[in-house]
């Protein structure tokens, strides 16, 4: 019985990281780009954190991922020079969709739909 239990445990460890679902809160909120608090989003490379989500202007395309790193929960930030999201605690790196590209995070960040209507962004997912 014990041996069978160990075999099942080892088998579960072999699953690829991508089998874990992305992690992040469920949200639906707006950011008005005409407000000073959100002004950085008018420029490529700008980003704003709100509702547990990082919203970034990735060279003219708005993207949003969960802010809390799936490793130990540090806040990830947008890195304009590499056009990705980076966790400062242990150098976890995520692509614009929230997928892990390097470092220790075991799971992708949840990503969100960003739609622009006039000067208002709606972030949902």
Residue 69 sits in the site that holds ligand FES (CB under 6 A): yes
Distance CA 23, CA 9 (A): 23
With CB under 6 A, what is the number of residues at the site for ligand FES? 11
Residue 102 sits in the site that holds ligand FES (CB under 6 A): no
Residue 89 sits in the site that holds ligand FES (CB under 6 A): yes
Residue 52 sits in the site that holds ligand FES (CB under 6 A): no
CB atoms within 10 A of CB 117: 8
DSSP string, 98-109: S-EEESS--SPB
C-alpha torsion 37→56→17→107, nearest 10? 10
Among 103, 120, 124, 125, binds ligand FES (CB under 6 A): 103
Note the residues at the interface with ligand FES (CB under 6 A).
69, 71-72, 74, 87, 89-90, 92, 103-105
């Amino acid at each position: 019985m014990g041996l069978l239990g160990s075999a099942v445990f080892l088998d579960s460890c072999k699953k690829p990281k991508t089998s874990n679902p992305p992690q992040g809160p469920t949200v639906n909120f707006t950011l008005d780009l005409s407000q000073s608090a959100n002004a950085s989003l008018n420029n490529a490379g700008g980003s704003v954190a709100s509702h547990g989500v990082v919203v970034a202007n990735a060279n003219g395309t708005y993207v949003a991922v969960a802010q809390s790193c799936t490793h130990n929960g540090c806040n990830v930030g947008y890195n304009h020079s590499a056009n990705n999201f980076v966790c400062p605690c242990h150098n976890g790196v995520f692509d614009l969709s929230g997928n892990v590209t390097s470092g220790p995070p075991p799971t992708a960040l949840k990503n969100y739909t960003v739609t622009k209507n006039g000067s208002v962004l709606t972030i949902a997912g």
